[in-house]
Amino acid sequence: MSDLYIHRLTALIDQAAKANEEAFGEVASRFADSLQGGGLVHLYGSGHSVLPVQEVFPRYGSYVGFNPLTDPRVMWHNVLGAGGVRELLWLERTEKYAEKFLDHQPLNKGDSIIIFGHSGRNSSGIDTALYARKRGIFVVAVTSKNNLDKPATHSSGKRLADVADLVIDTCSPIEDAIVPVEGWSRPVSGSSTVLAMILAHELIARTAEQLAKRGIELPVFASPTIAGVTLHDTDVIYGVYRERMLEAQKKHLPTFQATMRGE
Structural domain that includes position 74 = 5-261
Instruction: For residue 52, give every residue at least 6 positions away whose Cβ sits within 8 Å of its Cβ, in sequence order, or none.
Output: 43, 45, 116, 142, 193, 196, 197, 200
Give the percent of the chain with pLDDT over 70. 99
Collapsing DSSP to helix, strand or coil, 56 comes out as helix
- Of all residues in the chain, what percent are helix, strand and coil, respectively (each to 5)? 50, 10, 40
Answer yes or no: are the C-beta atoms of 71 and 104 closer than 8 Å: no
Dist CA 56 CA 113 (whole Å): 12
* Strand ranges, E, within 27-65: 41-44
The domain that contains 40 carries what CATH number? Answer: 3.40.50.10490
pTM for the model: 0.94
HEC sequence for 141-187: EEECHHHCCCCCCCCCCCCHHHHCCEEEECCCCCCCEEECCCCCCCC
Dist CA 109 CA 139 (whole Å): 12
From the first residue on, what is the mean pLDDT of each consecutive set of 10 residues in the chain (263 residues)? 85 98 98 98 96 96 97 90 88 92 96 96 96 97 94 92 97 96 96 98 98 97 90 92 95 85 78
Instruction: Classify residue 136 by its DSSP letter.
Output: T
pLDDT given for residue 76 in this prediction: 87
Alpha-carbon Rg of the chain, whole angstroms? 19
Instruction: For residue 112, give every residue at least 6 positions away whose Cβ sits within 8 Å of its Cβ, in sequence order, or none.
Output: 30, 31, 33, 34, 39, 40, 41, 42, 137, 138, 139, 140
pLDDT given for residue 68 in this prediction: 97
Instruction: Mark out the alpha helices in 38-150 (DSSP H runs).
Output: 50-56, 85-91, 97-102, 123-134
pLDDT given for residue 210 in this prediction: 98
Number of independent structural domains in the chain: 1
Collapsing DSSP to helix, strand or coil, 25 comes out as helix
| pLDDT tens per residue, range 89-103 | 998 999 999 999 999
pLDDT given for residue 2 in this prediction: 57
Dist CA 45 CA 65 (whole Å): 18
